Amino acid sequence: MTIILFILILGIIVFIHELGHFIFAKKAGVYVYEFSLGFGPKLFSFKRKNDETEYMVRLIPLGGYVSMAGEEVEDNILKGIKKVKLVTNDNNEVEKIIVNLDNPKYADLPVVEIDSYDLIGTSKALDDELYIEVLDGEQKIKYIVKRDCLINFEKKAEIQIAPYDRNFVNKPWLNRFLSVLAGPLMNIVLAIVIFFLIGLFSGYAKTNNTVIGKVTEVEGSGNIQLSEGDKLTSINGIKLTDWQSISDALSQIDLAKTPKIVVGIEGKDDIVINPSVFVYSIELAFKVDGTDLPIVGHYSASNEKTKSYKAGLRDDDMITKLETANRVLSQNVTKSSILEFFNSSDLEEGQNVTITYLRDGNEYKTDIEVYSKKLLNTQNIPATKIQLGITCANGFDLGKLLYMPFVQTGESFTMIFKTLGAIFTDKSVGVDDLSGPVGIFNLLKEATKDGFLTILNWTAILSVNLGFMNIIPLPALDGGRIAFMLYEGVTRKKPNAKVENIIHTIGFLLLMALMIFISFNDILRCVGCK
């Protein structure tokens, strides 16, 4: 089921992207040969009545393309072909050129030798006469070629010729620029629409009050005493005014002095709760037991994908020492001191922290490569956090509904930019941390566990990703073509077509190599080798 959902979502995102190219190309009068979803062998195709474009679905559902006349450097469609058959109308105009001489449908037509031809014309466009001259014995015959003439290459494969005025490369700069830019922009529009739908169905967080919307039970915390609709009034005597004030109050807690916190609730008696403590820098959760003892908690460490688990830490291990290249924590090692260690330490990118821990009376050591604060900030994640396991209530807000989709799309865009930037600025992150189709599939698999709205949110972010990647000036992608067009727009000179084509070809090969590398890493992560 997840595979079908993955193909469906990816198909929608790619369809919207290519639809942008298609619409603007059509409006500009460009002849579009093919609108394709996927790559590789053709599964099925169709043509609508009075529509010159062939719509196609291919085997590999990992992309798509819109094939436009004139995009390739070589647009001489009959290059290298010596002999053909001609289908003419009552006016002796050529309606079809048969290259496949063995096509039984045209077995009765004579074979003629091509002498010369012009199937494109010049800038005069519609005033140009398209023709083909053939040799019939020693006689040279010139035929007028209709501007919608078809060329038959295989039994059922026919392509319409594309005169000068129907070629992409001959269209005004602005038309070409918009046709290329429209793909990524449509992905941005799709994300905005999806975020709007999410807001419409789920509403927006009411952060201007302290009403609980949802309680996620944390074993051992005692937060089960909290309920949906409760309005928090205080934490350890600190008055609460809005949702941010809850986070501010929690950040002031010294677990060494007050491992348990007192929560005031409007209309109810105060309750005592053990807060949960999480160190995002090493993906480690402490046991919720109302003490300041640094004991590994089961609800996080048992996740095999976390850094702490991969390093060997397990439930009920007690941390006794933390050590980096320039700092050691070995005295009074507690939850609070560990939080201070990671909050105050500006750990360098890619730096390891050596953790000493006790298990069944025996001492062990392990190294964990930390997430730097800089990297965590790209995802708006704190180095450490004390939490109650509650989220604020949602409600319909027309004002937010109108502008928040744009904010959320912008935030997704910024987060992607920062994450990619971290690859070049943070030693703990590299190309092998990127995810391809396999990794994206696994993310979707996890998203399906949280319901429809989470899947929608995932889809929106993926659409932003596709739009972002196609704006980056990488050869073979839309961004690379946009870069060449910007050069043309500034210099008023078209780039050398052959040079541009070579650059795009090399870029495509490099991207394919990168995709294979990323997919291989994704597979290794799936089987537990990384």
pLDDT of residue 74: 46
364 Cβ contact list (under 8 Å, min separation 6): 312, 317, 356, 357, 358
Report residue 530's pLDDT band, with 50, 70 and 90 as the boundaries. low
**What's the rounded Cα separation, in Å, for the pair 310 and 418?**
26
**What's the rounded Cα separation, in Å, for the pair 67 and 153?**
17
Both tokens assigned to 303: 């996740």
**What's the rounded Cα separation, in Å, for the pair 101 and 483?**
43
Domain borders along the chain are 83-166, 205-394, 403-526
332 Cβ contact list (under 8 Å, min separation 6): none
Asked which of 157-161, 369-373, 391-395, 520-524 is least confident by mean pLDDT, the reply is 520-524
Cα dist from 146 to 131, 132, 217, 305, whole Å: 8, 10, 73, 63
- Round the average pLDDT of the chain to a whole number and report it: 86
Residue 364 has pLDDT above 70, yes or no: yes
pLDDT of residue 21: 95
Indicate the SS3 state at residue 36.
Answer: strand
Residue 274 has pLDDT above 70, yes or no: yes
The H-assigned helical ranges of 157-255 are 173-202, 243-251
Query: How many Å separate Cα 521 from the centre of its chain?
Result: 17
- pTM of full prediction above 0.85: no
Residue range 15-45, pLDDT digits in tens: 999 999 999 999 999 989 899 998 888 888 8
Residue range 385-427, pLDDT digits in tens: 999 999 998 888 888 999 999 999 999 988 888 877 777 776 6
Report residue 496's pLDDT band, with 50, 70 and 90 as the boundaries. confident
Residue with tokens 């050869």: 475
Mean pLDDT of 126-150: 84
Residue 517 has pLDDT above 90, yes or no: no
Residue range 462-490, pLDDT digits in tens: 999 999 989 988 888 899 999 999 999 99
Both tokens assigned to 457: 């949110």
pLDDT of residue 72: 58
Indicate the SS3 state at residue 241.
Answer: coil
Report residue 461's pLDDT band, with 50, 70 and 90 as the boundaries. very high
Closest CA to 111 of 143, 79, 136: 136
Question: Which three-class secondary structure string do you get for 203-222?
Answer: CEECCCCCEEEEECCCCCCC
Closest CA to 239 of 249, 226, 247: 249
Fold that domain 205-394 belongs to in CATH: Pdz3 Domain (2.30.42)
